[in-house]
C-alpha cells in the first residue's frame, strides 16, 4: 500500500442521535498533516482521505465502531485521592473535573484518564476515550496529498519517537510542550490494577490526549490529535 502524505483542514462534529455538536477544528494556518499507513489516524478516516485528491472537499461520518468504540462502564472506577497528592498535598492545579491526566500502571504502561469526579477521599476516573460511543462527522478540505517521500516518513517516525518533541508525537504544536511537573509518581496498583501511578511530567501539547503525546486536540489511544498525531505550522 502506498503511504500518502496528506495535509487537510477539518471540523469534527458529534452527530450522535441526530445532534450536531462541534468538538474541534483545525486552526487557520495550522492544518492536520499525517502519513497514511503509519497508524497515525483512525483507520477508516485515513482510508477515506487517502482516496481524495488535492483540492477536494470531504464529508465523512464514522460510527462508534469505526471511531473510538462503545463506552465501557467497567473502565470507569474510583482511585484513592492520595494517589494524586505530592508531598502530602492534593494536586488541585492539575487534578480537576474534566482534566485529562497521565497515569501509569504497575507494569509501567502509560495511558491517560479523564477526571470525572473528585470526592472527599476518592477520585473517579474514566479510561474510555472521551468520544467513545459517539458517531463522528469530519468535514474539511484536502490541501495537499501525494506519495510520501522517505524524508517525510523519517520525520514522522522521529516525531513519534519523541526526538525533539514532547512525549512522542507532537511536532510544531501550537502552545508548546508542557508537562505537569514533578517526576513520574506512582500509586502502586490501586484501582483493581488499572492504575499504577499518576505520571506527572509526561508533557503534552495543548489539548486532551490519551497516549504518549498529542497536539492541540483530543488525541487518545496511542497519542492522536483528534484524528492523528501531527499538526504542522
Q: Has residue 19 got a pLDDT over 50?
A: yes
CA–CA separation, 3 and 34 (whole Å): 10
The whole-number pLDDT of residue 105 equals 84
Residues 210-220, mean pLDDT to the nearest whole number = 35
Higher pLDDT, 173 or 86: 86
Q: What would be the CATH architecture of the domain defined by 4-70+130-231?
A: Roll (3.10)
pLDDT at 187: 36
Report, as an integer, the average pLDDT of 28-44.
92
69: cell is 468504540
What is the pLDDT confidence band of residue 122, given thresholds at 50, 70 and 90?
very high
Q: Picking from 83-87, 129-133, 156-160, which range would have the lowest pLDDT averaged per residue?
A: 156-160
Higher pLDDT, 220 or 178: 220
pLDDT score for 2: 86
pLDDT mean over 15-32: 96
Residue with C-alpha cell 479523564? 114
Q: Which of 68-72, 79-83, 88-92, 219-223 has the lowest mean pLDDT?
A: 219-223
Q: What is the mean pLDDT of the chain?
A: 75
Whether this prediction's pTM lies above 0.75 is answered by no
SS3 letters across the chain: CCCEEEEECCEEEECHHHCCEEEEECECCECEEEECCCCCCCHHHHHHHHCCCCCCEEEEEECCCCCCCCCCHHHEEEEEHHHHEECCEECCCCCCCCCEEEEECCCCCEEEEEEEEECCCEEEEECCCCCCCCCEEEEEEEEEEEECCHHHHHHHHHHHCCCCCCCCCCCCCCCCCECCCCCCCCCCCECCCCECCECCCCCEECCCECCCCCECCCECCCCCECCECEECC
Average pLDDT score over residue span 62-91? 93
Strand partners, 111: 103
Q: Please, are residues 211 and 97 in contact by the beta-carbon 8 Å criterion?
A: no
Mean pLDDT across 44-66 = 96
Read off the pLDDT of each residue in 86-107 and give the average, rounded to a whole number: 90
The alpha carbon torsion through 86, 91, 95, 96 (nearest 10 deg) reads 160
Q: What is the pLDDT of residue 169?
A: 33
Report residue 22 as a C-alpha cell. 462541534
Domain ranges of the chain: 4-70+130-231
Which of the pair, 93 or 199, is modelled with greater confidence? 93
For the four alpha carbons of 116, 113, 24 and 48, in that order, the dihedral sign comes to negative
* pLDDT tens-digit readout, 146-199: 999 999 999 988 887 766 443 333 333 332 223 333 333 333 333 333 333 333
Phi, psi at 177, each rounded to 5°: -105, 130
User: Which residues are bridge partners to 190 per DSSP?
Assistant: 195
Amino acid at each position: 500500500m502506498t503511504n500518502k502524505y496528506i495535509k487537510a483542514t477539518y471540523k469534527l462534529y458529534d452527530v450522535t442521535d441526530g445532534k450536531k455538536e462541534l468538538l474541534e477544528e483545525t486552526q487557520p494556518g495550522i492544518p492536520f498533516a499525517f502519513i497514511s499507513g503509519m497508524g497515525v489516524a483512525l483507520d477508516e478516516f485515513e482510508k477515506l482521505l487517502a482516496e481524495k485528491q488535492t483540492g477536494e472537499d470531504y464529508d465523512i461520518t464514522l460510527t462508534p465502531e469505526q471511531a473510538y468504540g462503545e463506552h465501557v462502564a467497567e473502565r470507569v472506577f474510583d482511585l484513592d485521592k492520595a494517589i494524586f497528592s505530592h508531598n502530602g498535598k492534593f494536586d488541585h492545579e492539575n487534578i480537576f473535573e474534566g482534566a485529562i491526566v497521565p497515569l501509569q500502571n504497575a507494569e509501567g504502561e502509560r495511558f491517560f484518564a479523564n477526571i470525572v469526579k473528585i470526592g472527599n477521599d476518592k477520585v473517579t476516573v474514566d479510561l474510555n476515550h472521551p468520544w467513545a460511543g459517539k458517531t463522528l462527522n469530519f468535514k474539511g478540505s484536502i490541501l495537499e496529498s501525494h506519495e510520501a517521500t522517505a524524508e517525510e516518513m523519517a520525520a514522522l517516525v522521529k516525531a513519534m519517537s519523541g526526538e525533539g518533541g514532547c512525549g512522542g508525537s507532537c511536532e510544531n504544536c501550537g502552545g508548546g510542550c508542557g508537562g505537569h511537573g514533578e517526576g513520574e509518581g506512582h500509586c502502586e496498583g490501586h484501582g483493581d490494577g488499572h492504575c499504577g501511578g499518576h505520571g506527572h511530567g509526561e508533557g503534552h501539547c495543548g489539548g486532551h490526549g490519551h497516549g504518549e503525546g498529542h497536539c492541540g486536540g483530543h488525541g487518545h489511544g496511542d497519542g492522536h490529535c483528534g484524528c492523528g498525531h501531527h499538526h504542522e505550522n
